Amino acid sequence: MASKRRTYQRIAGLYDLLDVAFEYGRYRPLRRLMFEGLSGKILDAGVGTGRNMAFYPSGANVIGIDLSEAMLARARGRQTRAMGRRGRADIDVELRAASVLDTGFADDEFDAIVATFLFCVLDDADQQPALEELKRICKPGGQIRILEYAWSKSLFRRLIMRAWAPWVKWAYGAAFDRDTEQYVEAAGLEIIESRFVYKDIIKLIVVRPKKA
Ligand SMILES: C[S@@+](CC[C@H](N)C(=O)[O-])C[C@H]1O[C@@H](n2cnc3c(N)ncnc32)[C@H](O)[C@@H]1O
């Protein structure tokens, strides 16, 4: 976990710039989808530089957590700009340093939880504990929405992804081969929806706490 923190402390200043083509070419419509129909108290887990912020629903109370203070500092800058320029006084956003493995929130605290490109950063050994922690703090009936990369089955795309993988690992501590879904059941969650939302490489996984 300390190494992930170091990685993001290092990359924070460049993060938005490095990803700008993907952000506008790929991610923006997906971020909108992640928050569609959500309300109440929402957790943005692994909030990063706050790129989901533009899509937080009106009237929501959103808490964003991240391991890296440098990423949170960028998110705070974005929050100030959004509140000022676009007058988003309709959302209540709090940003704090915390790990998704031990958030410190109360049981059943959130109506919904969103994690965009967080689980591709978590090591395999941390996948289930992270899901268990999100389950603990999500209200029964609440949704946990996860957006993740997966290896493409197309030979051409897979070759491109293979070429990118060492950079993605070094720069972001991330990998394309995390299989978050395999830990869902053991974490006490059930899948509501699982589908590709960008070609066969970005997947939306929606889960909820299993009924007792
Ligand atoms: C690839 S970035 C995604 C950021 C943002 N969600 C987005 O969509 O642009 C992953 C983020 O997860 C954070 N992170 C990594 N491990 C974490 C952990 N255990 N708990 C909380 N945040 C973590 C990193 O610091 C980084 O900001």
Helices (H), 86-117: none
Q: Which residues approach ligand 1 with their CB closer than 6 A?
A: 1, 4, 8, 46-48, 51, 65-68, 71, 99-101, 116-118, 121-122, 172, 174
Are the C-beta atoms of 1 and 22 separated by less than 8 Å? no
C-alpha of residue 73 to centroid of ligand 1, in Å = 13
Chain segment 160-212, per-residue pLDDT in tens: 999 999 999 999 999 999 999 999 999 999 999 999 999 999 999 999 999 77
Domain spans in the chain, listed from the N-terminal domain onward: 2-209
Q: Closest ligand 1 atom, CA of 8?
A: 25
pLDDT surpasses 80 at 18: yes
Chain segment 62-101, per-residue pLDDT in tens: 999 999 999 999 999 998 887 766 556 677 899 999 999 9
Chain segment 27-45, per-residue pLDDT in tens: 999 999 999 999 999 999 9
| CATH homologous superfamily for the domain 2-209 | Vaccinia Virus protein VP39 (3.40.50.150)
pTM listed for this prediction:
0.96
User: Per DSSP, what are the bridge partners of residue 147?
Assistant: 116, 204
CA proximity to 114, closest of 199, 177, 51, 188: 51
Please give the single-letter amino acid code of residue 15: Y
Question: What's the average model confidence in pLDDT over 41-60?
Answer: 96
